[in-house]
Amino acid sequence: MIKVSIIGSTGYAGIELVRLLNSHPQVSISHLISHSHVGKAVSDLYPNFRHVTDKICNPLDVHAISKDSDIVFTSLPHGKSDTIVQFLHKEGIKVIDLSADYRYQKVSTYENWYNRKHENPHLLKEAVYGLPEIYRNEIKNANIVGNPGCYGTAAILGLAPLVASKLIDQNSIIVDAKSGATGAGKSLSQGLHFCELSETMRAYKIASHRHTSEIEEILSLCSNEDIKLSFTPHLMPLKRGILCTMYANLEDSFDFNYIYDVYTNFYAKEAFIEIYNDNIIPEPKFVNGSNSCHIGFVVDERLNRIIVVSVIDNLIKGASGQAIQNMNIMFGIDETMGLDMPGWYL
């Protein structure tokens, strides 16, 4: 059994880790760490765990965690994982960090976009970006994995085949993304009150959202060219789910079937990627509750432009499910273990 601990276990991403790992046949949960709910049973905080687990939330004690953990998931706000990851790494414990702290190869990119100095820039050289469909071989031998952001996952998976195959003008990319409210985390905010969120939609952080840099860095590596793109996120009146619509000018008059073959070859044998045919476009309800990413596209022949739509569950493929997928790869077990479930649809 893989002994697992979760730091930040009672936030939305953290509690999804608890839910999914509790049913994982190769996992034993050692510690649940919560700053806000020390001494409380997880089933008291989230009644869906009644008659499932009454595990108690503990305060952070990295020494205790390191004694009986094979891997630790850190599900904390950015800037809060630095010293924890450093200590666990020194103790030989594998870490999957769900914040942005270990997603970047270039420390300058992280520091510029997150407006803080990275405490352990040397560890960025060891950390692997945890998108299995692109970095599976590197993840296999990683000791630190920077789990991708939800917007990053949806956008990169939607665009990677196009940039890698040089099918699009790399300076023409526009990413229009929409997320459910859980993407903003559990912290209270007026903009997330029911009356502020219901029956409306809201664009935010236009031309300044931090995930822009994450998307640009990984797509640039896929393309071997410096890519800059326009990214606009929106908040939807939904609990969960991401719908990402991406636009780019084609470099030539490629038809649908040609591009479809590019996508299916790029993602051949990927268990969690579904490419739609016949101009069918996926919706968030097709994937919510699953670790899947569904991708559809349309070729606009009039403008010689492609419009790609990708959808994921922001809490699963966009966070906790992907983290577990990475863990499975790191320990050499079936990548789909604990994650092989369809979306809820309703």
The CATH number of the domain holding residue 176 is 3.30.360.10
One domain for residues 139 and 112: yes
Q: What is the mean pLDDT of the chain?
A: 94
Give the separation between CA 139 and CA 128, rounded to whole angstroms: 6
- Are 123 and 32 contained in the same domain? yes
Residue 60 lies in a domain: yes
Q: Is the pLDDT of residue 99 over 90?
A: yes
Q: Which of 3-12, 76-85, 137-146, 253-262 comes out lowest in average pLDDT?
A: 76-85
Q: What is the DSSP letter of 257?
A: H
Considering the domain architecture, whether residues 69 and 57 belong to the same structural domain is answered as yes
**What's the rounded mean pLDDT across residues 63-82?**
93
pTM given for the model: 0.96
Residue 150: active-site member: yes
Query: Which listed residue (57, 150, 222, 293) is catalytic?
Result: 150
**139 and 10 housed in the same domain:** yes
Q: What is the pLDDT of residue 89?
A: 95
Query: How confident is the model over 6-11, as a mean pLDDT?
Result: 94
Residue 143 structural domain: 2-147+319-330
Tokens of 85: 């990851």
- Percent of the chain topping pLDDT 90: 87
Number of domains composing the chain: 2
Q: Please give the pLDDT value at position 185.
A: 66
Look at residue 272 and give its three-state secondary structure. Answer: coil
Residues 6 and 119 in one domain: yes
Tokens read off for 70: 């094979």
DSSP 168: B
Please tell me the predicted confidence (pLDDT) of residue 91: 95
Q: List the CATH number of the domain containing 137.
A: 3.40.50.720
| Alpha carbons 166 and 339: distance in angstroms, whole number | 33
Q: Are residues 72 and 140 in the same domain?
A: yes
**Residues 64, 69: Cα–Cα separation, whole Å:** 9
Say which amino acid occupies 39. Answer: G
